[in-house]
Amino acid sequence: MALIIIRLHPVEPVNGGDFEAFLRDLVIEAFDIGINNGPDGVSVGSASYVPPPIPPTPWIPASTTRIVQHFEVVSPTLPPQPLAAATAAIRVATPAGYTEHNESDLRFKVTRGGKEILSSQLYYNVPVSTSALPKDRGTLPGLSPTSLYLALPDRGREIDPADAFVPVSPDGTPPRYDILLNAVTIVLTHDPGSPAQLADLTPTQARHVAYEIVWNQKYRPLPAPKKRTLEQMFTLPDSGLAARLSQRALSAASGVSLRWLVTLEQGQGRPSDDVCRKLAAGFLPDGSELARAVLDLRLRRAAGESLVMWNRRRPPRVATRRLYAEAGAVLDAEDAKREAEREASAAVFLEEFRAQWGADAASAGGPATPAEAWPGRWPRVR
């Protein structure tokens, strides 16, 4: 037995949470195109995506899936975050006496929702893993070596039977005649005023049909802007919100020198209570006194022990003390609400984790609870 380890990724970068849609209903089938198997090859195995059984815990994959999305632990207080990458593992049974120069030569048929995804690449001397397919599917991303990388297009770009599509071989081999004839017939059927008979096409019309097939925008999508949106690419930086939040604009609005703002941003200086107050006014030029006071206190709390408190000759006025007392109450209420939401989310996660653990333990054996698996440590996990 051997495993073909395929790393999946989108054609263009996407959010990790959006990448799950790329995997839904995905099936990858491998074909051995060895010298005796012909150009179509012989099927040697496949991998299918099975969604996680518990939606609130997508980082715990289904026990039967062979395609697993990657997740990253960014903080012990937050659930694992999804990434725009996945691993597929295809188990291949190697016949007795099978020999091959170096490694296997493969092609892949990729379908999503029963419709094929364009993939004409042929892979030669593909390395495989000798590891067994792990029962814990969450360990698939850690398998090695990587056999190949495969880019997945957005949903909706699968090949539809009604599309005038002709697969073109990367080595220049002419396409099959029946596929080409079918594509030409589809174009002539859809275009109004086309000749009823293929033989009646003029050279100009034949060339037009060829362009219709080759330049199908469904399979040649427009490139997405890199790193910046279209608006960011063509909007001058001295307008709108970006200008108001720039260092120079913030310096002018708050009265804090540009050099001191740069020093603070680089972590080479200590903010004072006076600077926090001025920055709050600069960030919220049209805000109420209460909103500015709340932001001022939040900036001070964020500064922590590095905050410099200046000694005042006179105590604050009564109205100022009342304003900041109200701002402190608002800030405490916001923080308490945020902490309650975090604890509620953690409680839901722990409950679902225990339930999934119990279900897995009942089917595969092992410790019945996390506390039994991690004696003395589970309370600290909470």
In the chain, domain spans: 2-152, 161-224, 237-311, 319-381
Q: Which pLDDT score is estimated for 382?
A: 40
Q: Which of 296, 299, 303 is nearest to 267 (CA)?
A: 303
Antiparallel, parallel or unpaired: β 81-92 and 67-72: antiparallel
Residue numbers in the chain where pLDDT is lower than 50: 239-242, 379-382
pTM above 0.85, yes or no: no
2 Cβ partners below 8 Å, 6+ apart?
Answer: 91, 92, 94, 128, 129, 130
Q: Which pLDDT score is estimated for 374?
A: 62
Which helix H or strand E contains 299, and what residues bound it?
Answer: helix 289-303
CA neighbours closer than 13 Å in the CB half-sphere of residue 237: 7
Q: Which of 150, 130, 132 is nearest to 87 (CA)?
A: 150
Q: Which pLDDT score is estimated for 315?
A: 81
Q: Order of strands across the sheet with 2-10?
A: 67-72, 81-92, 2-10, 148-152
Which helix H or strand E contains 42, and what residues bound it?
Answer: strand 42-48
Antiparallel, parallel or unpaired: β 2-10 and 148-152: parallel
* Tens-place pLDDT, residues 119-154: 777 888 899 998 889 999 999 999 999 999 999 988
**What token pair was written down for 233?**
């690419």
What topology does CATH give the domain 237-311?
Answer: 434 Repressor (Amino-terminal Domain) (1.10.260)
